């Protein structure tokens, strides 16, 4: 039997042999304000697809950690009952972008060769979908691969047009579905096929080939990409199930060790395990999600990603209780996850101690929540009873859930014990409102500014600020009130883009430079520098003397003393980071930072307040390094090498 580790490796090796760079998974927390979690392999290549970022390769392959908690099939409630839906999963993918990118034909040929030659799967077991008018993809499947036309289905946007989120790169797709055989048909339709798209469990969507062609803008337009590319994604759990000849992902070696550990902890017989199948699956799925999320820096909390993590952990604990756990158990599950997955994902091994501590803290907190919730609910029920009310209002059910994380199912059970019911509908509408609020909060204004600059289509700015703080440049564009301008006069506030500049744009917590731009006819005071889209540097300021005009040559002068102060504080964050690691432990990872001329702030994760003694020790270590007055060197390296060197 091929193990899951071997299948993952075979995929990456196959695409390496086709000239693809093997790139590490990016974290589950994306560097992208429009997304809650990394939800596909292409997320880390988004800017490469948009033509905003140049990479040293044009073909890449990854096994990407992904999280999906909403969408067509990924509502939390489907995870457990379904044999193949997950919150956390791994996506295998191959990508092509930029100059000389390959497109539909190669994507189809590679996928087919991988399935039939490398995996040795039976070619007659597949059906294919394409976007309705994509005759080109149809032609490759039928004429180049030799698939009978009746197994190629033309489908609509709902299934065969892929978007990362509401905006970003997107395009028509071709999906490859696996046929488990008529004996697995659950729809009972005599015409049963992928084309019906009726959720019949006979068919398994294995691989999605996206032909990236457009950039979806927030106003609904689809703008053609500078160059089309390819983004494919295959669920590792699914290909492993097919290859290992099992129907449910939970029967693959990615899950069986975790399920076995759960059973051992519960002391269940095979029949008891079968009886609690959904709980076993929930615990295994959510156990993987929680382990990877915490290792990537998310801690349980009440907002955004943290809230999702809390929800997932509490759902696992609830199912755990139903299956018979009476003591904390998620730490043991995490250990099993680390055993199964740590060979490929070192971060969960390196941060194991921290992950286990965080899990324990959340389990303890949830127990206290349950105690508090039960007490509150008892009072509420007594109150309602005294007024003869027999239904607990949805808003109350929601309040318990929202403020305490008290599960509505539990509220219902307790209510029923007292002869009351709960208003489910009212609860659900309160939930829906909450979700809408959370979604709105995820979108920051930055996306609009970025969108605007993308449409201007300016070339990237050459950044000279590592070598010099004074340089000449030419005005490429000026923007005032969102419009391109040719000229700006005294007192006007404008945004200016030069072809090259020594001004550092705010990034990585370091604030943007200030200074001035001097043209032959006027002077602009730069109050801030930002990079709304990767590669582009925008000076924000006000014309103080005369006027400035598009096309003029300017002398750009960074306020040098301020920049030096900022640089000192930036170096100090690195010293601080190192000292935190030494004193508190390797889990004290950076969550964010602010580097300004007069101060720095460093956000990191740790499960308790830092004690005064630790603080003194951290301070001593940082000051010792400063007194040593060591030289500061800069060096360009790859992401992986930087991680190896302890970054």
Q: Provide the binding-site residues for ligand SER, judged by CB under 6 A.
A: 40-42, 93, 162, 208, 210, 231-233
If the CB atoms of residues 208 and 213 are measured against ligand SER, the closer one turns out to be 208
Question: What is the per-residue DSSP string for 302-347?
Answer: SSHHHHHHHHHHHHHHHHHHHHT--S--HHHHHHHHHHHHTTT-HH
Find the shortest distance in angstroms from Cβ 244 to ligand SER: 22
Find the shortest distance in angstroms from Cβ 463 to ligand SER: 31
If the CB atoms of residues 210 and 239 are measured against ligand SER, the closer one turns out to be 210
If the CB atoms of residues 232 and 262 are measured against ligand SER, the closer one turns out to be 232
Closest CA to 554 of 545, 562, 563, 567: 545
If the CB atoms of residues 210 and 236 are measured against ligand SER, the closer one turns out to be 210
Find the shortest distance in angstroms from Cβ 339 to ligand SER: 28
If you ran DSSP here, which 8-state letter would residue 638 be given? -
Closest CA to 294 of 239, 251, 351: 351
Torsion of CA 83, 88, 94, 98, to 10 degrees: 140
Distance in angstroms (rounded) separating the CA atoms of residues 438 and 425: 20
Residue nearest to ligand SER (CB): 233
The neighbour count for residue 378, using CB atoms within 10 Å, is: 12
Residues of 95-112 as b/e, b for ≥16 C-beta within 10 angstroms? bbbbeebbbbebbbebbb
Considering only CA atoms, give the Rg of the chain.
28
If the CB atoms of residues 166 and 617 are measured against ligand SER, the closer one turns out to be 166
Find the shortest distance in angstroms from Cβ 42 to ligand SER: 5
Find the shortest distance in angstroms from Cβ 46 to ligand SER: 10
If the CB atoms of residues 162 and 398 are measured against ligand SER, the closer one turns out to be 162
Distance in angstroms (rounded) separating the CA atoms of residues 403 and 369: 10
If the CB atoms of residues 90 and 296 are measured against ligand SER, the closer one turns out to be 90
Instruction: Please provide the distance, in angstroms rounded to a whole number, between the alpha carbons at the two ends of the chain.
Output: 38
| 381 contact partners, CB below 8 Å, separation of at least 6 | 392, 414, 415, 418, 420
Find the shortest distance in angstroms from Cβ 385 to ligand SER: 51
Find the shortest distance in angstroms from Cβ 232 to ligand SER: 5
Distances (CA, A) of 630 to 455, 571, 574, 575, 639: 45, 11, 13, 11, 25
Find the shortest distance in angstroms from Cβ 126 to ligand SER: 17
Distances (CA, A) of 26 to 574, 584, 604: 22, 25, 19
| CA angle, residues 202, 203, 206, in degrees to nearest 5 | 145
Q: Which tokens in the block code for residue 205?
A: 């969507």
| 260 contact partners, CB below 8 Å, separation of at least 6 | none
If the CB atoms of residues 170 and 566 are measured against ligand SER, the closer one turns out to be 170
If the CB atoms of residues 205 and 559 are measured against ligand SER, the closer one turns out to be 205
Find the shortest distance in angstroms from Cβ 436 to ligand SER: 24
Find the shortest distance in angstroms from Cβ 164 to ligand SER: 7
If the CB atoms of residues 232 and 411 are measured against ligand SER, the closer one turns out to be 232
Find the shortest distance in angstroms from Cβ 173 to ligand SER: 7
Find the shortest distance in angstroms from Cβ 479 to ligand SER: 33
Distance in angstroms (rounded) separating the CA atoms of residues 128 and 151: 6
Distances (CA, A) of 104 to 132, 224, 308: 15, 16, 36
If the CB atoms of residues 39 and 531 are measured against ligand SER, the closer one turns out to be 39
Find the shortest distance in angstroms from Cβ 175 to ligand SER: 9
If the CB atoms of residues 210 and 464 are measured against ligand SER, the closer one turns out to be 210
| Residue 156 buriedness (CB in 10 A; 0-12 / 13-18 / 19+) | exposed
Q: Are 562 and 514 in contact (CB under 8 A)?
A: yes
Q: Are 99 and 227 in contact (CB under 8 A)?
A: yes
Whose structure tokens read 């580097």? Answer: 595
If the CB atoms of residues 231 and 396 are measured against ligand SER, the closer one turns out to be 231
């Amino acid at each position: 039997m091929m193990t899951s580790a071997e299948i993952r490796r075979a995929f990456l090796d196959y695409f390496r042999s086709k000239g693809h760079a093997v790139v590490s998974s990016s974290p589950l927390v994306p560097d992208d304000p429009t997304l809650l979690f990394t939800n596909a392999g292409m997320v880390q290549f988004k800017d490469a697809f948009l033509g905003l970022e140049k990479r040293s390769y044009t073909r890449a392959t990854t096994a990407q950690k992904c999280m999906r908690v909403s969408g067509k099939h990924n509502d939390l409630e489907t995870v457990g009952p379904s044999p193949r839906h997950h919150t956390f999963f791994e996506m295998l993918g191959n990508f092509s972008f930029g100059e000389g990118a390959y497109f539909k034909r190669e994507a189809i040929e590679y996928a087919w060769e991988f399935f039939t030659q490398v995996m040795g799967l039976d070619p007659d077991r597949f059906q294919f979908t394409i976007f309705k008018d994509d005759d080109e993809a149809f032609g490759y499947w039928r004429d180049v691969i030799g698939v009978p036309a009746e197994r190629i289905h033309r489908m609509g946007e709902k299934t065969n047009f892929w978007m990362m989120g509401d905006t970003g790169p997107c395009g028509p797709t071709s999906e490859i579905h696996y046929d488990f055989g008529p004996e697995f048909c659950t729809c009972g339709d005599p015409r049963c096929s992928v084309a019906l798209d009726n959720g019949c469990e006979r068919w398994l969507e294995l691989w999605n080939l996206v032909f990236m062609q457009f950039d979806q803008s927030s106003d609904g337009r689809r703008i053609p990409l500078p160059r089309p590319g390819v983004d494919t994604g295959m669920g590792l759990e699914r290909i492993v199930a097919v290859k290992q000849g099992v129907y449910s992902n939970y029967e693959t070696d990615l899950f069986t060790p975790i399920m076995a550990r759960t059973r051992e902890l519960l002391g269940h017989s095979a029949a008891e395990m079968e009886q609690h199948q959904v709980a076993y699956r929930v615990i295994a799925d959510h156990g993987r999600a929680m382990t990877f999320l915490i290792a990537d820096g998310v801690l349980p909390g009440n907002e955004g990603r943290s809230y999702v993590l809390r929800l997932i952990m509490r759902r696992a604990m609830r199912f755990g209780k139903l299956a018979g756990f009476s003591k904390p158990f998620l730490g043991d599950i995490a250990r099993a996850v680390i055993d199964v997955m740590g060979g490929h994902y070192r971060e969960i091994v390196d941060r194991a101690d921290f992950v286990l501590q965080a899990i324990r803290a959340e389990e303890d907190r949830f127990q206290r929540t349950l105690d508090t919730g039960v007490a509150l609910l008892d009072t509420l029920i007594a109150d309602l009873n005294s007024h003869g009310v027999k239904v607990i209002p949805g808003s109350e059910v929601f309040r318990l859930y929202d403020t305490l994380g008290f599960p509505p199912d539990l509220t219902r059970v307790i209510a029923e014990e007292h002869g009351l019911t709960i208003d489910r509908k009212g609860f659900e509408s309160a939930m829906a409102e909450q979700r809408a609020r959370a979604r709105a909060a995820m979108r920051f204004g930055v996306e609009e500014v970025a969108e605007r600059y993308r449409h201007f289509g300016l070339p990237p700015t050459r950044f000279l600020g590592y070598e010099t703080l004074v340089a000449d440049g030419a005005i490429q564009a000026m923007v005032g009130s969102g419009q391109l301008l040719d000229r700006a006069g005294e007192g006007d506030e404008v945004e200016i883009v030069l072809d090259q500049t020594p001004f550092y744009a705010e990034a990585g917590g370091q604030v943007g430079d200030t200074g001035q731009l001097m043209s032959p006819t006027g002077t602009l005071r730069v109050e801030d520098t930002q990079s709304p889209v990767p590669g582009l540097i925008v000076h924000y300021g006000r014309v103080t003397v005369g006027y400035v005009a598009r096309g003029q040559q300017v002398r750009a002068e960074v306020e040098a003393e301020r920049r030096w102060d900022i640089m000192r504080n930036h170096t100090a964050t690195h010293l601080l980071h190192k000292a935190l690691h030494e004193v508190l432990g390797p889990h004290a990872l950076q969550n964010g930072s602010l580097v300004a001329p007069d101060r720095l702030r460093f956000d990191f994760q740790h499960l308790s307040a830092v004690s005064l003694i630790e603080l003194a020790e951290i301070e001593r270590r940082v000051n010792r390094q400063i007194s040593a007055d060591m030289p500061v060197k800069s060096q360009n390296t790859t992401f992986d090498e930087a991680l190896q060197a302890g970054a």
